[in-house]
Amino acid sequence: MKITYKYKLGAHFASAIVNGDYSGLSADEGQQLDLFISQLPNHYHYKTKQHKLFDMVDYEQEPDFDECEITGLMGDCVDFELSYI
């Protein structure tokens, strides 16, 4: 059984989420992202791409003005998906 969670996240978090590269984030943003990731639902096995927790739904997607689920602030957001098997 596949379980999928969908999130709207600030586009500026994409590199940190997809590549583990926090260099574009402030220290506070890095801490917010780490806290968000630590609170994700726990399941036994991740369905991941190159051992990533989750990935963008569409790499060609243009950001939408929406509320970021990490910060709670309005800004340019993209869709992310976390899937478990």
Residue with tokens 């991740």: 46
Q: What integer pLDDT is reported at residue 42 of this predicted model?
A: 67
pTM of the model: 0.78
Do the beta carbons of residue 9 and residue 80 sit within 8 Å?
yes
Q: What pLDDT, in 10s, does the model give residues 30-54? A: 999 999 988 887 654 444 444 445 7
- Of 81 and 29, which is predicted with more confidence? 29
Q: What integer pLDDT is reported at residue 12 of this predicted model?
A: 94
What is the domain partition of the chain in residue ranges? 3-84
Q: What pLDDT, in 10s, does the model give residues 44-82? A: 444 444 444 577 788 888 999 999 999 999 999 999 988
Rounded Cα gap, residues 54 and 3, in angstroms: 12
